[in-house]
Amino acid sequence: MLEIALDSDEEWDSSRSWLPLVRKAAEAAIAESAYPDLAEADRPVEISITLTGNDEVRALNARWRDKDKPTNVLSFPMADERDLTRANLAQSELLLGDIVLARGVCEVEAAQKGVAVEDHTIHLVVHGTLHLLGYDHHDDRGAADMEAREVRALKRLGIANPYEIPA
């Protein structure tokens, strides 16, 4: 059973219900991972998602990655492969980790891509969830695998391939 702990600050549009969007994004990412049963396992599986501003993300990026600038999404995994493969065992809750998104960066990137902020946010939650599941893009092979999983997850949600270059 997937649980989403969502926290959003005043920079994110409070008239928008973000929880259903981020839940669907996380579920789609999990479905396209090597661990598709995590979203429906009897064992509670939790992801913490924080929607905040550039300043907070910049501070986290500086502290944990030594990069003193805001970025679109940060992921902080808490589980390892052994935890992920035991999803159906009767154990305590599995904390996958934390995902933090920066509103300003998301808005700028969405505008540059010509997509809705909601769609770009969904993409970044998919991306962040895949990081929590052990995927990365530090080399060409990992990047290609992760990108393909993102594209498939977004297709499940009716969102176009964000990596496709428009004609």
Torsion angles phi and psi, residue 45, rounded to 5: -120, 125
What residues are paired with 94 via a beta bridge?
45
Indicate which CATH number applies to the domain containing 39: 3.40.390.30
Total domains, the chain: 1
Please say if the pLDDT value at position 52 is more than 70: yes
Instruction: Indicate whether 3 pLDDT > 90.
Output: yes
Residue 161 falls inside a structural domain: no
Domain span at 123: 2-156
Q: Select the more confidently predicted residue: 89 or 31.
A: 31
Q: Where are the beta strands (DSSP E) in 68-124?
A: 73-77, 94-102
Confidence of residue 13 (pLDDT cuts 50, 70, 90): confident
Q: Is residue 45 part of a domain?
A: yes
List the one residue out of 159, 162, 157 whose CA is nearest residue 146. 162
Three-state SS at 25 = helix
Residue-averaged pLDDT of the chain: 92
151 occurs within a structural domain: yes
Q: Is residue 163 part of a domain?
A: no
